[in-house]
Structure 1
Amino acid sequence: MNPEDLEKLVTLRMPFGKHAGCLIADLPGPYLNWFAREGFPNGQIGRLLQLMHEIDHNGLSELLDPLRRGS
């Protein structure tokens, strides 16, 4: 993981699917769990979704709050 990836979670929006337009950091846990079961897409978006899933699954979403304030 690159430190820049955490910043991307609070600035990039989901480009497709049911939650298109939603910040990756704001995606609901069940949606992230679905990707974990079905497979993450290739490329940057898949890497970020996987990172967000790990953060959400481990109850660490509050770690992104300072980055949100800085955005």
Structure 2
Amino acid sequence: MEMRPDTEQLLEMAHYKMPFGKYKGRYLVDLPLAYLVWFRQKGFPKGKLGDYLNTMLTIKDNNLEPIIRKLQKDFPKEST
């Protein structure tokens, strides 16, 4: 069985910013690893943000941040 990432969701996550707290306004990829680990220990928020934080922790744990940064560069978020 071949696994394929959801391209739209990956692009959305690449441009998703932290909506609250100390790191409000930062891209999720720019959050410190320790902050993501803290969320894992305390419990990720419900919904999309929690899913994205959990996924970003996996991405950072596997040193895959360059993929997210390339997506940000190659597919800039359009201003609305």
Please give the TM-score of this superposition, normalised by the length of structure 2. Answer: 0.79
Aligned residues: percent identity? 37
Runs (5+) with no aligned partner, structure 2: none
1:44-63 pair list within 5 angstroms: 44-63=48-67
Does residue 1:8 correspond to 2:23, yes or no? no
The structure with the largest helix share of the pair is 1
Runs (5+) with no aligned partner, structure 1: none
Pair member with larger Rg:
2
Q: Which runs of 4+ in 1 moved over 6 A?
A: none
Inter-partner Cα distance in structure 2 for 1:62 and 1:23: 14
